[in-house]
């Protein structure tokens, strides 16, 4: 039963749940919902069965506490989601693991999910002003002035990042100055070449799925520090894109969920959390869970859509109005073989024009199918997302053909995931802070509100925004709640 529950039920994805309900007259839907509602109780009820929520439950269970995990989607894994396309597991969401991401590594090891290196042999492609160049290694063949410009900028950012305390970024000595400006402002004041600025833009877009104008400089510095360095964030070899999971990243969540069994409830969106003196009641469409504590793992913008009774204090509520989700579509083209490897290409491209500006070879470990992935991020996602699939597909495939040859123009399959349209994420990769938010609201990010504790990768101090951060946040909150039980 529990195994069946945690299996994907079709290709329509999470949004299908809500859409299905629309077919019923409202009153019937309400009645149906009501009749199905089970009453459950546990020490802790966890909202969200992504890596943060599953880790929370796993740790609490190991300490002997009872838990339920309520998940809105019809699957576990949150922003990781592996779907088979023509028999090949394709990661529609978060997928990589790199050095220093030790808590994710430990979890994957514990549940027996091995990793393999991201394909990174050969030459990369760099497109700028309509011209293609190839190069090896991590540094694109930009002009020497631009290389110097970006190198200086990254060194400055890394150095400043080191001055931002991870648990309390708002206490950095220059926090007011840094949280008063966008990264765009800092870039214009500190970089001198168009091409150097382009390279920074590409890095920011790839990391945040947003533009330098969207994010606070202080938030970017915190994020860099949280990962160790800017290069850790953007590199393949030695960086956050170094390795992948055999069978897809969602496998980790599936394995953890399988062990939790009936304690993970799918298709169970939480609508309301009621706190009383002796406990907390979490109401979903399918179940009502009474518990001593509640852990909410949804990112701030989605946690805001739960009804709280009593209402949340101003600091927490206004925080949730101020940390938007990024903007990204992930696109995948499948080929019979990773033919670019024969041409001595890595499958990695970087481009100054969209829709796709970054690609990777995402073929399975045995390389018996070729998979190219591309990211449509930030402004490109906002512009291209609303357009018809056929138009977007044509534009993406034309880019792939330009970068990897005519064979790339004829994929066997093209599939994409628009995370902005996914009801229970409403954006990826994660949430960021615009200017002023960390300074005045940062302290509300992890501060419990009565019996409600907060987790999710957005609350992590190390590898914030990454799968590893999600695992760390789950471990942190499990310890936090565990001390109270």
The footprint of its own copies (CB under 8 A) covers 15, 18-19, 21-22, 25-27, 30, 34, 37, 39, 179-182, 184-185, 188, 210-214, 272, 274-276, 281, 283, 288, 301, 304-305, 307, 309-311, 313-315, 317-318, 321-325, 327, 379, 382, 385-386, 418, 420-421, 423, 426-427, 434-436, 439-441
Residue nearer to its own copies on the CB measure, 79 or 476 = 79
Residue nearer to its own copies on the CB measure, 168 or 185 = 185
DSSP string, 126-137: EEETTEEEEE-S
Residue nearer to its own copies on the CB measure, 182 or 362 = 182
Q: Using the structure block, give the residue that is written with the tokens 């290389």.
A: 147
Cβ neighbour number for residue 147 with a 10 Å cutoff: 17
Closest CB 32 distance from its own copies, rounded Å: 12
Q: At 58, is the secondary structure helix, strand, or coil?
A: helix
Token duo for residue 420:
């902005």
Residue nearer to its own copies on the CB measure, 21 or 246 = 21
Residue nearer to its own copies on the CB measure, 39 or 131 = 39
Cβ neighbour number for residue 109 with a 10 Å cutoff: 12
With beta carbons less than 8 A apart as the criterion, state whether 429 and 328 touch: yes
Token duo for residue 458:
């957005």
With beta carbons less than 8 A apart as the criterion, state whether 216 and 178 touch: yes
Closest CB 166 distance from its own copies, rounded Å: 22
Q: Using the structure block, give the residue that is written with the tokens 């291209």.
A: 384
Residue 127: name the closest of 401, 384, 402 by CA.
402
Residue nearer to its own copies on the CB measure, 118 or 425 = 425
Task: Specify the DSSP class assigned to residue 381.
Answer: H
Closest CB 448 distance from its own copies, rounded Å: 14
Residue nearer to its own copies on the CB measure, 39 or 366 = 39
Closest CB 93 distance from its own copies, rounded Å: 16
**CA atoms 256, 258, 259, 261: torsion sign:** positive
C-alpha distances in Å from residue 317, one per residue of 206, 440, 477: 29, 13, 20
Closest CB 164 distance from its own copies, rounded Å: 17
């Amino acid at each position: 039963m529990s195994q069946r529950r945690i299996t994907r039920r079709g290709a329509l994805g999470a949004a299908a749940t809500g859409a299905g309900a629309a077919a019923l007259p409202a009153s019937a839907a309400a009645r149906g919902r009501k009749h199905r509602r089970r009453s459950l109780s546990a020490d802790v009820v966890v909202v969200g069965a992504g890596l943060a929520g599953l880790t929370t439950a796993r740790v609490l269970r190991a300490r002997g506490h009872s838990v339920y995990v309520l998940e809105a989607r019809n699957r576990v894994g949150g922003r990781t989601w592996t779907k088979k396309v023509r028999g090949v597991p394709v990661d529609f969401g978060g997928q990589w693991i790199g050095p220093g991401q030790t808590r994710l590594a430990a979890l994957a090891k514990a549940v027996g999910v091995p990793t393999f290196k991201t394909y990174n042999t050969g030459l990369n492609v760099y497109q700028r002003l309509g011209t293609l160049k190839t190069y090896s290694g991590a540094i694109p063949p930009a002009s020497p002035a631009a290389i110097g410009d970006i190198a200086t900028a990254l060194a400055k950012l890394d150095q400043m990042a080191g001055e931002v305390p991870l648990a309390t970024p708002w206490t950095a000595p220059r926090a007011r100055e840094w949280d008063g400006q966008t990264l765009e402002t800092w870039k214009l004041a500190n970089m001198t070449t168009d091409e150097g600025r382009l390279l920074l833009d590409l890095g920011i877009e790839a990391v945040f799925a947003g533009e330098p104008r969207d994010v606070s400089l202080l938030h970017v510095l915190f994020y860099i520090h949280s990962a160790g360095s800017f290069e850790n964030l953007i590199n393949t070899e030695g960086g956050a894109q170094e390795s992948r999971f055999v069978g897809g990243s969602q496998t980790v969540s599936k394995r953890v969920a399988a062990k939790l069994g009936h304690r993970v409830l799918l298709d169970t969106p939480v609508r309301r959390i009621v706190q009383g003196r002796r406990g907390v009641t979490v109401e979903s469409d399918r179940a009502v869970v009474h518990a001593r504590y509640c852990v909410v793992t949804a990112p701030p913008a989605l946690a805001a859509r739960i009804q709280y009774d009593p209402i949340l204090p101003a600091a927490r509520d206004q925080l949730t109005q101020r940390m938007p989700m990024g903007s990204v579509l992930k696109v995948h083209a499948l080929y019979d073989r990773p033919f670019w490897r024969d041409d001595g290409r890595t499958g990695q491209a970087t481009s100054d024009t969209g829709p796709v500006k970054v690609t990777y070879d995402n073929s399975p470990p045995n390389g018996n199918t070729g998979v190219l992935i591309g990211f449509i991020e930030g402004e490109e996602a906002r512009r291209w997302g609303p357009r018809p699939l056929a138009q977007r597909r044509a534009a993406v495939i034309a880019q792939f053909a330009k970068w990897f040859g005519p064979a790339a123009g004829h994929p066997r399959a093209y599939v994409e995931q628009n995370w902005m349209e996914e009801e229970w994420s409403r954006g990826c990769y994660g949430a960021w802070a615009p200017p002023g938010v960390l300074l005045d609201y940062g302290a509300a990010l992890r501060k419990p509100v009565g019996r409600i504790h907060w987790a999710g990768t957005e609350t992590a101090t190390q590898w914030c925004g990454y799968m590893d951060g999600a695992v760390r946040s789950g471990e942190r909150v499990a310890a936090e709640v565990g001390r109270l039980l």
